[in-house]
Amino acid sequence: MSEPILESIDHQLQMRERAPLRSRRAPLQKGLAGLFGFLLMGATVAPVEQNWRPHPRDNFPFSYYPMFSEKRGEIYAVSYMVGLDGQGNRTLISYRFAGSGGFNQTRRQINKLIREDEADMLCQAVAEKVAREDAPPYSAIVTVRIVTGRFKFADYFGGNKAPLKERAHASCQVERNEAAKDGAAKEGRL
């Protein structure tokens, strides 16, 4: 027999010897991969059972996302800032006037100041920032109020943004004078 044919036969014999080993390992590898996938799915779904506990625990990395799954009532209370112009028209004041963090962080700071009876201090700080504003709607605001409003979810998201009830924690006047504007301009805020 010629040399290439012998090499071909030898190669085929080697492949046959390896095939049983490879075919025995394949189901084991597939089984381990399947078991690993099943365990990952179980770990992802496991936190859902927290929803049925009287005192659920939210824990990283196994979170059941209470911010989305928590039952909420029909009425929701939220604290915010309102500006009034000379005719009594209302303007919601951006949370950015109350703090430098994100929306939720600043909202929590507002709630904490209200709980600690510091709403007057917050009102004064917001009124000073509003006084430096030259552009509408803030330029027309003469009074700042820190309030907590109660809203009905269905009405609010249906278009009725008026609160059912509102409680004022603090109210202060916006004092616009040239000295304050000059000082703000020197500090580069205008």
- Give me the percent of the chain exceeding a pLDDT of 90: 51
Global pTM reads: 0.60
Q: What is the pLDDT of residues 48-65, one digit of tens each?
A: 777 777 877 766 666 666
Give me the long-range contacts of 63-71 (CB less than 8 A, separation at least 24).
none
Query: Could you give the angle at the alpha carbon of 151 between the alpha carbons of 88 and 87, nearest 5°?
Result: 5
How high is the pLDDT of residue 126? Answer: 97
Q: Give the dihedral of Cα atoms 183, 127, 98, 149; nearest 10 deg.
A: -170
Pairing of strands 141-152, 75-85: antiparallel
How high is the pLDDT of residue 52? Answer: 78
- Average pLDDT for residues 140-168, to the nearest whole number? 94
How high is the pLDDT of residue 23? Answer: 62
How high is the pLDDT of residue 179? Answer: 47
pLDDT band at 33 (very low <50, low <70, confident <90, very high): very high
The string of DSSP letters for 19-84 reads HHHHHHHHHHHHHHHHHHHHHHHHHHHGGGGGGGSSS----SSS---HHHHS---SEEEEEEEEEE
